[in-house]
Amino acid sequence: METREYVNSEYYQHMDTEGLRSHFLIEDLFKAGEVKLVYSHVDRMIAGSAVPTVQPLRLEAGKQLGTSYFLERREMGIINIGGKGRIIADSVAYDVGPRDAMYLGMGTKDVQFTSLDPSNPAKYYINSAPAHRTCPTRVVTIDQARHVKLGSLEDSNKRTINQFIHPAVLETCQLVMGMTCLEPGSVWNTMPCHTHERRMEVYLYFDMPENRVVFHLMGKGDQIKTIVVRNQQAVISPSWSIHSGAGTGAYTFIWGMAGENQTFDDMDTIAMQDLR
């Protein structure tokens, strides 16, 4: 498990492109037959992936956690962006289909990721945050998610927000997670932009062909810098940073949040005239 140390907003102002990418961008996700995890010092969030093929992949606790098993003091959210899968949690099998999610509560000891068809493997995207209490393990299908439609084609941001791991759908300790799908002709994930002073966020961008990119905007509103993000790459966004972006075409992104509260609309909007 790779570790990413915290970067404050003052140090960020002096970072070049390579510095931004090495600290905030997660590039090498979704490798066949591997579990890839990044441990961020930002609210102790872990983001990563698991792509099982013929053999199951078991979730192991790294030295960063200092626990006997991964979810001893953590909770986890998973969204499958690949083929049909099955997750085995403490000997109970849960089918997790394409675009379905699963929540694993604190105290789940043994977690194994499998694919039902190794030639079309499941691609599990993972977010995990510290927890202080146990909440029930559950699969949330794409049909069971809460669907919120926002934006317009005139503003290039017509989209559907699918809330999976969210207070409106199921109980968690602190983790919130969902998937936003932009319609053809829309490219902005959010604008006007905002920060979450009380929560950090991780974005995974996908559903993009090889020649499409997203320009992810980060920093304080008057200190904006850009990270170019490609298909199936993720960006760690500290609480002091905006997390807006625009693509060269439509795309889908998964957002995961951890912090002080779970209020989805608890944000500090930045006026357009204040952006620099």
Q: What is the pLDDT of residues 167-188, one digit of tens each?
A: 999 999 999 999 999 999 999 9
Q: Is the pLDDT of residue 196 over 80?
A: no
For residue 271, the model assigns a pLDDT of 81
E strand or H helix at 180:
strand 176-182
Which domains occur in the chain, in start order?
Answer: 2-274 (2.60.120.10)
Share of the chain above pLDDT 90, in %: 88
Q: What is the pLDDT of residues 122-149, one digit of tens each?
A: 999 999 999 999 999 999 999 999 999 9
Across-strand partners of 162?
A: 147, 179
128 is written with which tokens? 């995990």
CB 161 within 8 A of CB 150: yes
Q: Is the pLDDT of residue 41 over 90?
A: yes
By three-state DSSP, how is residue 266 classified? coil
Q: Is the pLDDT of residue 261 over 70?
A: no
pTM: 0.95
76 is written with which tokens? 């986890």
By three-state DSSP, how is residue 40 classified? strand
What's the residue count for the chain?
276
pLDDT, mean over the chain: 94
Q: Going edge to edge, which strands form the sheet with 138-140?
A: 2-4, 35-40, 46-50, 124-130, 74-80, 101-104, 138-140
Q: Give the CA distances from residue 253 to residues 83, 114, 158, 244, 250, in Å, rounded to whole numbers and listed in that order.
A: 17, 23, 14, 12, 10
User: Band of the pLDDT at 267, cuts 50, 70, 90?
Assistant: confident
Taking residues 98-122, what's their average pLDDT?
A: 98
The residue that leads in pLDDT, 84 or 191, is 84
Of 130, 143, 140, give the one whose Cα is nearest residue 45: 130
For residue 264, the model assigns a pLDDT of 65
The torsion defined by the Cα of 162, 132, 64 and 225, in degrees rounded to 10, comes to 40
Q: Token pair 């299908």 is at which residue?
A: 141
Q: Is the pLDDT of residue 7 over 80?
A: yes
Across-strand partners of 231?
A: none
Taking residues 246-254, what's their average pLDDT?
A: 97
The torsion defined by the Cα of 33, 112, 77 and 32, in degrees rounded to 10, comes to 10
